[in-house]
Amino acid sequence: MNLRSVYKIPDGKLLKISLDYNERNNSIESINITGDFFAHPEEAIEILEDKLKDARFDRLFLRNKIDSIIKENNLELIGLNVEGLTHGIMLCKP
Amino acid sequence: MNEKWRLLITKDRTAYNNMAIDWAVLKASSNGEVQPTVRFYTWKPSAISIGYFQSLDEEIDLNKCKKHGVDYVRRITGGGAVYHEHELTYSIVIPENHPQISKNIMESYGCICGAVIKGLSQLGIESKYAPINDIIVNGKKISGNAQTRKSKTVLQHGTVLIDVNVEKMFSLLKVPNEKIRDKMISDVKQRLISIKHLLGKDVSFDEVANTMKKGFEEEFNIELVEGSLTEKEIEDAEIFEKEYFSSKEWNHKK
């Protein structure tokens, strides 16, 4: 099932999420993170998308996973943050 | 004596070529082959650039662009969709460890935007930096800016609106709901402002380029010396244009 959300990050940019949801496992099959935010290095968003494949669709789990991926890859987000990204993804949940 | 940086003025290039040149200069700078470089440029045909993380299909009405002969391209920088028509676009490429550039990305936005602000003040326009990436006059946006850092080199490019045609811009951008298109146009008209509107007269690209040159020189305490792209930069730009910016794969990446 394809799910989408559009979320304006408070004091930040517009985040658009499109993801394929696996209802059977309550997990994310694939995710596309788009928007007018900034991320340094830019390629790290692709790493983030890749590492969120098969992730459990659960707010706390996603928050911790995103936080650790960002730290591991020294990703600097501007106009976007861990809370906002987690919330944007959770807004997709049916 | 002031440090000398290179100034490039490249008018009327395609969107693909413009984005390829910025990347080629970044590559040359990261290899230590060129001085810090400031470029002022225009787009022909007019074009929409989208941010690295945006989806072309979601942001732009591609059929309308084709109908109006407007090009479209994905940038290597983040940020939003920009319609490039009556504007001066600038880019600055400088090593990340240059003493004039802060390691802190937001501080460096403020500093580079300071050059544009000083340029505008040469025209008698008082503006200020509005984080994250805008320059505003009386609360209205006159300039948008986007930065990337690759291979220990900073590239920031941005626009300075000489004139603005919000109706045309919106005819090319997708809106979430056609019913609110008119409302969005009137909202954006309230939020954007151009040099022409502020000064009440037409101002040429050359005039704006001249004032921006002074703005960069003043902000960075340097002398900008007009030069040209190196042969290697031209070669690299051709490669980047072909392999990235004019390719469907790159532009439809998201």
Which string of DSSP letters, residue by residue, matches B1-26? -PEEEEEEEEEEE-HHHHHHHHHHHH
CATH of the domain at B235: 3.30.930.10
Task: Write the pLDDT tens digit of every residue in B22-45.
Answer: 999 999 999 999 999 999 999 999
Domain carrying residue B246: 3-251
For residue B232, give every residue at least 6 positions away whose Cβ sits within 8 Å of its Cβ, in sequence order, or none.
Answer: B24, B28, B33
Q: Report ipTM for this prediction.
A: 0.95
The structure's pTM equals: 0.94
The domain total for chain B is 1
User: With a cut of 50, which residues of chain B have pLDDT below it?
Assistant: none
CATH of the domain at A47: 3.30.390.50
Rounded distance, CA B117 to CA B236, Å?
32
Chain B hits for A78, CB-CB cut-off 8 Å, are 78, 105-106, 132
Rounded distance, CA A26 to CA B228, Å?
57
Domain carrying residue A19: 2-90
Chain B hits for A15, CB-CB cut-off 8 Å, are none
> What does the buried/exposed string (b/e) look like for A36-49 if buried means 16 or more CB atoms within 10 Å of the residue's CB?
bbbbbebebbeebb
Q: Identify which of A6, A12, A34 has the shortest CB distance to residue B53.
A: A34
Structure tokens given for B72: 């479209």
Task: Write the pLDDT tens digit of every residue in B136-174.
Answer: 999 999 999 999 999 999 999 999 999 998 888 888 988
Predicted confidence at residue B78, as pLDDT, reads 97
CB pairs < 8 Å spanning A and B: 56
The domain total for chain A is 1
Interface residue A38 vs chain B (CB under 8 A): yes
Distance from CA of A68 to the nearest CA of B (A): 21
Distance from CA of B125 to the nearest CA of A (A): 27
